[in-house]
Amino acid sequence: MSSVRYTTESGELVARDCRSGELLHKYSFEVPIRQFIPKVEFGGCVVLLDARVSDKPTFENLFMIRADGTNIWSAKLPESHDAFVNVVDQGATIVAHTWRGHLLEIDVATGRTMSDHFTK
């Protein structure tokens, strides 16, 4: 669905049809959204939830969802007791940093880690 626009409203991620403005889906999460990157050319939106407010020691908080609310993929952390802290859009890939110092390049289409560099 290439005519989807993603925004945030009252802490929720909202998907609307670009042409009609029709609401397609509202996403509520257990913690606030830290970042989101619309990737409609890949069929969805990359979402990073804010790890600072989670009490989970291992928080898999980076994923991609479709406009209908289904999960396309969830990024895998390189080790336990970690979480993603930011992402940068690189087109067909995203670069994601983890709390424990990993820098991952992730394929947007599949969510597969293409490279992992330890930076600390």
The confidence score (pLDDT) of residue 120 equals 78
Say what the pTM is.
0.94
Residues 63-107: tens digit of each pLDDT: 999 999 899 999 999 999 999 999 999 999 999 999 999 999 999
Task: With beta carbons less than 8 A apart as the criterion, state whether 118 and 104 touch.
Answer: no
Number of H helices, E strands in the chain: 0, 11
The number of C-alpha atoms within 13 Å of 118 and in the hemisphere containing its C-beta is 5
Residues 39-49: tens digit of each pLDDT: 999 999 999 99
In whole angstroms, what is the distance from residue 31 CA to residue 18 CA? 27
CATH of 4-118, one of 2.130.10.10, 3.40.50.2300, 3.50.50.60, 3.40.120.10: 2.130.10.10
- Domains of the chain, by residue range, sit at 4-118
> How distant, in Å, are the alpha carbons of 29, 68, 118 from that of 54?
11, 25, 23
Of residues 103, 72, 95, 97, the one with CA closest to residue 85: 97
- DSSP of 18-53, one letter per residue? TTT--EEEEE--SS-EEEEEEEGGGTEEEEEE-GGG
In whole angstroms, what is the distance from residue 87 CA to residue 105 CA? 10
